[in-house]
Structure formats: C-alpha cells, structure tokens
Copies of this chain bind each other. A is one copy, B any other.
Amino acid sequence: MPVSNKTDIVAESVVGKGPRRLRKKAAASVVVSDPSGPSSVALDLGELNELLGYSLKRAQLRIFEDFLRCVAPVKLTPAQFSVLLLLDRNPGRNQTEIAMTLGILRPNFVAMLDALENRGLCTRQRSPNDRRSHVLMLTDKGRTTLAKAKKLVADKHEARLIDVLGPRQHRAMLEMVAKLAKEL
C-alpha cells in the first residue's frame, strides 16, 4: 500500500541549478549521482527486512484490511468477530471474563458491547446469583450473523491467506505465531 507507488524511476527529471554535465548512463541498481532533487529511487530498507517485528506488523495490518473487506457484508471488525465467537462458545459468561480472555480492558469493553447489543447481536442480563455481573448471550440474530461471518472468513479471508502462503506454510505460521503469543 505505501512503499513507493512511483513505479517508474525517472533518474533525471529536474533541471539542475548548476552546470549540466554529461552523465554516464546509470547502472542497474541506480544511485542517482545528483544527491538532491526528487531522485525517486527506491529506498534501501537495510536491516529492517531482518526485523521480524517490522514485517510482522505490516503483515498484520494487511491481514486486518483483508478481513474487513471479506467480512464487510456482515459489518464486523476482527475484534467484534472475536467477541461473538467467544460468546457462542462460552454462553453465560460475564463481561470481565470475556474481555479478559480477549485481552480487552473492562472499561473499553463497555462501548464494544453497547454496539453489539444495539445491533441486536447479543444481550446483557443481570445475573440472579450476583447482581453485579452481566450474563452475556448471543441472540438468534447474533448466531446467524456469526454463522455468515464464519463462512466469509473461511471461504474468502483464510482462503486468501492459504492461497498466498500455501497450506503447509499457513499451518506452520499458525503454530509459530501461536507459540510467540504464548511463550514470549
């Protein structure tokens, strides 16, 4: 997305102020002789390419963009999808438990749940046993929305990732990334 959209390299597009001298045709890996001006030669990333965190971050951004595109028909963000998934698997839990499991801070979870509840995807009920806590449940609409989302994720999003990486590498990456998330 970023990283140089100027595809064609124009080595000499500016009329220099100094005297214009003849110049040798530049070699393959051009380094513009005139150090100023909009030289527009692709920059050297250096050891950035060897920094796992750097590429990982950029990959993560792309993956989330792809997720949003694929799941757009049901209008769910990755975070919202993860909440619905968790509610489906763990009905009757309270906000603290769901939020904690997803690494969301309780105060920040309130607005998230408001949005999902306002869309009729889940409900909050005061627990009769502990009237401080809210029992969370998916609604029928929430379940059907989740089902649609899961299909979009599997058929479009994950399918795309598997297509780019290949099934074996996709699986390997899943394991490595889980290991890092767990053991680092």
Interface, chain A (partner B; CB < 8 A): 1-4, 14, 16-17, 35-38, 43-64, 66-67, 78, 82, 85-86, 88-90, 92-93, 97-98, 100-104, 127-130, 135, 150, 153, 157-158, 160-161, 164-165, 169-170, 172-174, 176-181, 183-184
In the complex, what residues of B have CB within 8 A of residue A160's CB? Answer: 184
Secondary structure type dominating chain A contacts? helix
* 27 intermolecular pairs with C-beta atoms under 8 Å apart: A2-B101, A3-B100, A4-B101, A36-B127, A36-B130, A37-B129, A43-B90, A43-B93, A48-B82, A50-B174, A51-B82, A51-B153, A52-B158, A53-B60, A54-B78, A55-B177, A55-B178, A56-B60, A56-B63, A57-B64, A57-B78, A59-B180, A60-B60, A66-B184, A173-B173, A173-B176, A173-B177
Given A35-B92, A55-B181, 15 new contacts (CB under 8 A): A2-B101, A17-B128, A17-B129, A36-B135, A43-B101, A51-B82, A52-B161, A53-B67, A53-B157, A55-B174, A56-B56, A161-B180, A164-B179, A164-B184, A169-B172
The answer on a CB contact under 8 Å between B51 and A130 is no
The answer on a CB contact under 8 Å between B177 and A86 is no
